[in-house]
Amino acid sequence: MTRSTFRPRRGLVAGVAASGLLLGAAAVGAAPSPAAAAPPGCDQPFPAAELAPGQVLSGLTVVKGTEPVGFEGTVLGVLDDGIAAGIDMIMVDVEVPDIELPGGDQAGGIWQGMSGSPLYAEDGRVVGAISYGLAWGPSPIAGVTPFGDMEEFLEADPAPRVPVPTAMARKIAASTDLSAAQAGRGMRELTVPLGVSGVSQRTLDFLAGKAEQLAKRGIKRPYLKSASYRLARSSAAAAPDASAIVPGGNLATTAAYGDVTMGGVGTVTSVCGDRVVGFGHPAYSLGSTSLGLHPADAVYVQPDPAGAPFKLANISAPVGTIDDDRRAAIAGRLGALPEAIALTSAATLAGETVSGRTDVYVDDAAADAVYYQFFAAHEQLLDNDPMGSELLTWTITGTDPAGAPFTLRLTDRFAGAEALWDAAYGVADFAWGLSRLEGVEMRSIDLRAELVRDARTLDIARVEQHRNGSWTTVNNKTPIQVRAGRTIKLRVVITGPGGTKRFQKVSFAAPAAKYRGNTRVAVSTGGSTYNSTSFKNLTGAKKLVASTLRNDQVRVQFGTRDKVEYAGDYYGDEYFRADAKRAKSFLRSRVSAPYDQVVTGAANINVKIRK
């Protein structure tokens, strides 16, 4: 299985949920007829060099529903190498005077979602796809990618903005209401925001806030971006199918589809047999890829006072695979669906269970999907009640670089206001780390969460040493005392709700007297101490899982200061035991069985070793 790296492009936000970019155009002209010389079902390109200023073109796009409607445009000229070296940009003045947005606002030209809308010459040949608009807002002028270049699927990324020469800017100003200065600001791609379905706007905003907090700590991830809109997934019996993938029709592409859908909507430029091409620019600049290919049902055009309007649409079930995401177009094949990571989840609270299933087509999107699906289930179960505590077990399966299967599984308990975030962050970040490993393929991610409303915890109250026939509280004022070679007997006193007490007893053999003045005992509990940068290969990931201290466990460590100080690090005890061969350095550790509640607190106590 080959899945590409998924990184949202500038202007594509992992939390933006506009289900796509709408091309709204009233039916101005009739749909063109196919060129007589074209093979049945396949379009032929009209050479950009043969276009003349003032030439009228007809186009197709969807305003509402799935049926393409016609519109017209007038050629202004051609920018040599306007998109990139070897790819010209055709400048077209688009006529969409009859499109009115909700609230009575006028569209003012093209907008997001029109990407890929085909333009035809009078003989039926395809001139190109609308793909760029003036950067400052709703654009009456469209930058068009020549159809001949869309067939080639070149690999290099396009420049994010294409400058408009002074002469062309003046020409645009002469035929529109724009000034030469406005036109001279340049052209940029009609963005295809990555939308998210299945999650409330409140959750999207919450995750965006967490992303900002992580960034301040120097932890950067391409997911958890700010979100403005939410996507929708079609569940209607009459949802459009592959028959709706026609020139001028809606074209959606997704990184994940199911209870959580992550994708965007543009327009089909051309269909040839089972091959589909659209957008006229990249979706996410993935090159050779494996994304979902979907029809979509447009709902309406959403005004945006801060920028260009965009289309809201319901994305239907996949009908094929997008296998090229190139600088001139996205393209794919109808039929076989992309291979996917199966993301499943089941969260239970007071006898109610919320289950979810999402097919993740791109490895990099797995972490995003985990966040969204996990939070959505909790949102539904809690219904605005505060978070209590939960026991989470996650399982990730896949194959290593040699193709051998692997299974990673971790169970942990979380409690309190940050429980939901801590639980989701751990598994999502682990999935992100696995997606970075060369040759490692995830096959499935399964989440099982048992929630309770009780958020109370157990707390480490003190540490006691058994000496002189009784238990004595020890701390740095009253350190642990032991003779070299003798046994230290300790117990950790843990208090619970209602003043209940639990005791964890441990014993250690004291080392030689040469360690006096350099030893201590550290008591710690679990926590979100690991992240995806803590392992560099699958072996490291397995060791990390095996050595992770759960939040409902207590670890007591006895060793030299340089070892104990780092014993809570994500490398785990095994790392330090291996390093303990150095002179005057050692570490010994005891970990409790899991308790039935999260344990909090810590202690760090000096040890006095006597001869």
Structure tokens given for 263: 């994708």
Report the predicted TM-score, pTM, of the whole model to 2 decimal places: 0.78
What percent of the chain has a predicted confidence (pLDDT) above 70?
A: 74
d(CA 537, CA 400): 10
Long-range contact pairs involving 170-177 (C-beta distance under 8 Å, separation at least 24) = 171/76, 171/77, 172/76, 172/91, 172/93, 172/141, 175/74, 175/76, 175/93, 176/93, 176/140, 176/141, 177/140
CA 192 – CA 24 distance, rounded (Å): 15
Which residues are CB-contacts of 583 (< 8 A; sequence separation ≥ 6)?
A: none
Mean pLDDT confidence for 426-451: 94
Q: Comparing C-alpha atoms, which of 232, 246, 235 is closest to residue 295?
A: 246
**Strand pairing class (599-600; 458-467):** parallel
> What tokens appear for 36 in the block?
């007589």
For residue 495, is pLDDT > 70?
yes
8 A C-beta contact, residue 297 and residue 316: yes
From-to residues of CATH 3.30.1490 in the chain: 341-452
Q: By the 8 A CB rule, do 553 and 595 touch?
A: yes
User: How far is residue 96's CA from residue 107's CA, in Å, rounded to a whole number?
Assistant: 8
- d(C-alpha 75, C-alpha 53), whole Å: 5
The partner residues of 441 in beta bridges, in order of sequence, read 399
Half-sphere exposure of 64 (CA within 13 A, CB side): 10
Tokens of 42: 């396949």
Q: Residues of the chain with pLDDT > 90: what percent?
A: 47
**SS3 of the chain: helix, strand, coil, percent, to 5:** 20, 40, 45
Element (H, E) at 275: strand 275-278
Q: Given pLDDT bands bounded at 50, 70 and 90, which one contains residue 22?
A: very low
Report CA torsion sign: 355, 360, 366, 372. negative
Cα angle for residues 64, 69, 71 (degrees, 5° grid): 120
According to DSSP, residue 566 is labeled: T
Question: Closest by alpha carbon to 209, among 15, 429, 414, 390?
Answer: 15
- The Cα-based distances of 569 to 68, 84, 321 in angstroms read 58, 48, 43
Give Cα separations from 429 to 219, 275, 300, 532 (angstroms).
Answer: 11, 36, 36, 6
> If residue 320 lies in a helix (H) or strand (E), which one and from where to where?
strand 320-325
Distances from the Cα of 386 to the Cα of 390, 412, 452, 498, angstroms: 12, 20, 11, 21
Range with the lowest mean pLDDT among 41-50, 144-153, 189-198, 234-243? 189-198
Topology of the domain covering 341-452: Dna Ligase; domain 1 (3.30.1490)
539: left (phi over 0), alpha (psi -120 to 50) or beta: alpha
User: φ, ψ for residue 82 (rounded to 5)?
Assistant: -70, -30
Task: Give the pLDDT band of residue 110 (cuts 50, 70, 90).
Answer: confident
Query: Which tokens go with 333?
Result: 């094949």
Supply the DSSP symbol for 361.
-
Mean of per-residue pLDDT scores for the chain: 80
Cα 159 from Cα 575, distance rounded (Å): 47
**Beta carbons of 584 and 486 less than 8 angstroms apart:** no
Distance, CA of 86 to CA of 601 (rounded, Å): 64
Residue 402 has pLDDT above 80, yes or no: yes
| Per-residue pLDDT at 327 exceeds 60 | yes
pLDDT of amino acid 14: 29
Give dist(CA 368, CA 536) in Å, integer: 21
- pLDDT tens digits along 236-257: 556 899 999 999 999 999 999 9
Token pair recorded at residue 417: 């206001």
Nearest-5° Cα angle at 241, 239 to 244: 105
pLDDT in tens, 53-92: 999 999 998 888 899 988 899 999 998 888 877 788 999 9
pLDDT of residue 303: 63
Q: Provide the pLDDT for residue 585.
A: 75
pLDDT of 466 above 90:
yes
Distance CA(377)–CA(390), nearest Å, equals 13
Residue with tokens 């940050």: 418
d(CA 511, CA 149): 75
Q: What is the pLDDT of residue 19?
A: 27
